[in-house]
Amino acid sequence: MIVVYHQNNLVTKVISVHNELIIFDLHSSIAEVLMVLAHQFPEKPIVWCHQLLEDSLNIDGIATLFHHDKMMLSYRVSPTSFLGTGIGFVEESPFIKVNKKCTYPTWLMSSEVGVIHASALKLIGGTIKADSNFDYFLNSVSKVGMILGLLCYSEPQLLLKNAPNSISPKANLFILFRFVKQHYKKRWIVLLFLNLLIFEKRFPIFPFLYSLFFKNRKKTVLNLDAISVQSTLTVVDKKTIDVIIPTIGRKKYLHAVLQDLAQQTHLPVNVIIVEQNSLPDSVSELDFLTNQTWPFNVKHTFTHQAGACNARNLALSQIESEWVFLNDDDNRFDEKLLETFLNKIQQFGASVITTAYLQQNEPQRYSITNQSGIFGSGNSFVKASCLSTVSFDMALEFGYGEDIDFGMQLRNSGFDIIYFPEIRILHLKAPMGGFRIKVKQLWDTEKMPPKPSPTIMYVFLKHYTEQQLLCYKLVSFFKLLKKESVLNYLVFLNQFEKKWNLSHYWANKL
């Protein structure tokens, strides 16, 4: 391990983990020194730390925290990131509103403290200018790298104790616009300009024009497969798996799912089925659960209360195994699904994973193992110990957004969601069962339908920044405006505001 200490945009000293001083160029930028060190020590993790935080650096804990080579960890004591709140105007992902109290997936890096393996820095940093602004360089490396499979985190345990909030600089609008131009599609600098103009009454024409002189880095072609991954964490002990399946009116499809589970090379311990039928006098139609023999224990719950959130919560309360497979009643998969899953989580030290989830004949677009911005309640695996404070939010029952919310609860509990493209589940998208009923929502009596759905608004208010919500509002406005006549603009604008305010009102009620 190599540790680089810096202050006032210059490196102050470089030492090995054994406190041996390493010679460096006093006149080089911090980023340039890191790149030289990456070539000089290609098998070492490289740590950076602000000189004022030297006594707080958790040097002994880094080996545990940095548990494989395809990672990048950082931490900024200040509650705001280097790029500030304005970055929320251009990115809707869950990686912007960082929970500073736990390990949290984000590409928002800081010059205060961090670590990256030399092999990753060489590959990614080699395609990026070693900027004199160290924070800009780090955020560029992580933003480019995260898309390519570099796993990036805010990690508070890098420091043993807190430090002053004023150590790191904050980007101005010129830097923010430059960053957006270099790391997003061109339209986002226009949207950033409009967001600042409409919602903050600012007119950043010069930062906008300044950004046009920079080339985009989003098209960087890199392959990080040369960086081997073998986590030093132990995330698997008993190798036991429970499967949960909510079902309603899909007897034939559920039977096929159970047959796929019965053929697994690594069998589950329990398959927990929650069958729903809201008709008062109804009884279970799943006769094959008892008149057939299955190579696992079947836990069957029948309920008259319909709703996927309730059904999944009922199933989660019955878990006994070390791992949970959140399955659906119209999935199909091969016999090595569970075996492959166990191999991958041990390789990456992951606690939550999601899979490729394609419909019949749908091409697979994403082929890189990376940090997922989504969570699927029908195609994910979660370590049972992660679920102690997590459940499906009943406020979202019969609406939209329960998967997003569940994933955000996991992230805010310190558990990242890793996407593995080689683990595939086929989603048949079976037709709905015959006894599903239309649920009346609280806002159905409104003369004008709220937009977006109040459940989506609820999720935004709960988990995203104010700037992300406002950006969503502006993008929604332009999408809907395309369908309207120019002559109808004022009427459309008035109705759009009313629908938005209605959604906000009902989201708060939820």
Of all residues in the chain, the percent with pLDDT exceeding 70 is 98
Cβ neighbours of residue 386 under 8 Å, at least 6 residues apart?
351, 352, 410, 413, 415
Closest C-alpha to 55, from 154, 160, 156, 155: 160
- What pLDDT, on a 0 to 100 scale, did the predictor assign at position 167? 79
Round to whole Å and give the CA distance between 173 and 470: 18
Give, in order, the Cα–Cα distances in Å from 330 to each of 159, 256, 311, 333, 379: 46, 8, 16, 10, 11
Q: What is the mean pLDDT of residues 67-74?
A: 97
Measured from the Cβ of residue 278, the count of other Cβ atoms closer than 10 Å reads 15
pLDDT tops 90 at residue 356: yes
45 preceded by a cis bond (ω within 30 of 0): no
The letter for the amino acid at 361 is N
Mean pLDDT computed over 71-99? 96
Q: Is the pLDDT of residue 388 over 50?
A: yes
Average pLDDT over the chain, rounded to whole? 94
Among the four given CATH numbers 3.90.550.10, 3.60.20.10, 3.30.950.10, 1.20.1440.230, the one describing domain 241-427: 3.90.550.10
In the predicted structure, residue 382 carries a pLDDT above the cut 60: yes
pLDDT of amino acid 434: 45
Query: Which residues is 383 bridged to in the sheet?
Result: 323
- pLDDT, position 435: 45
* Mean pLDDT within 340-346: 97
Tokens of 256: 């096929």
Place of tokens 């001083």: 21
**Residue whose structure tokens are 């960087």:** 220
Residue 198 has pLDDT above 80, yes or no: yes
Question: What pLDDT does residue 483 have?
Answer: 83
Q: Is it the case that residue 34 has pLDDT exceeding 60?
A: yes
Residue 375 has pLDDT above 60, yes or no: yes
36-69, pLDDT tens digit by residue? 999 999 999 999 999 999 999 999 999 999 999 9
Sheet with 2-7, strands from edge to edge, namely: 10-16, 2-7, 45-50, 113-117, 71-75, 151-154, 104-105
Q: Which helix (H) or strand (E) holds 139?
A: helix 134-147
- The DSSP symbol for 92 reads -
Exposure letters 247-271 (e unless 16+ CB within 10 A, then b): bbbbeebbebbbebbbebebbbbbb
Q: Where are the beta strands (DSSP E) in 268-427?
A: 270-276, 297-303, 323-326, 331-332, 352-358, 370-371, 380-383, 418-427
Q: 369: which 2 tokens?
A: 């193992």
For 21-52, give the DSSP string. B----TTS-HHHHHHHHHHHSTTSEEEEEEGG
* Calpha distance 320→440 (Å, rounded): 35
- List phi, psi (to 5°) of 292: -125, 155
Task: Give the β-pairing of 45-50 and 2-7.
Answer: parallel
Residue-wise pLDDT for 286-300, tens only, equals 999 999 999 999 999
Q: How many other C-beta atoms can be found within 10 angstroms of the C-beta atom of residue 374?
A: 14
Digit-coded pLDDT (tens) for 266-276 = 999 999 999 99
CB 60 within 8 Å of CB 150: no
SS3 assignment, position 219: coil
Q: How many residues does the chain have?
A: 510
Contact 78, 165 (CB under 8 A): yes
Contact 116, 158 (CB under 8 A): no
State how far Cα 113 lies from the chain centre.
22
Q: What is the DSSP letter of 159?
A: B
Radius of gyration of the CA atoms of the chain, in A: 25
Query: What's residue 427's pLDDT?
Result: 96
Q: pLDDT-based confidence at 220, cuts 50/70/90?
A: confident
Residue type, 158: L
**Is residue 330 helix, strand or coil?**
coil
DSSP state of 315: H
User: What distance lies between CA 398 and its chain's CA centroid?
Assistant: 24
Indicate whether 372 pLDDT > 90: yes
Q: Is a pLDDT exceeding 50 seen at residue 415?
A: yes
The yes-or-no verdict on residue 436 having pLDDT over 70 is: no
For residue 166, what pLDDT is reported? Answer: 66
What is the mean pLDDT of the segment spanning 211-229? Answer: 89
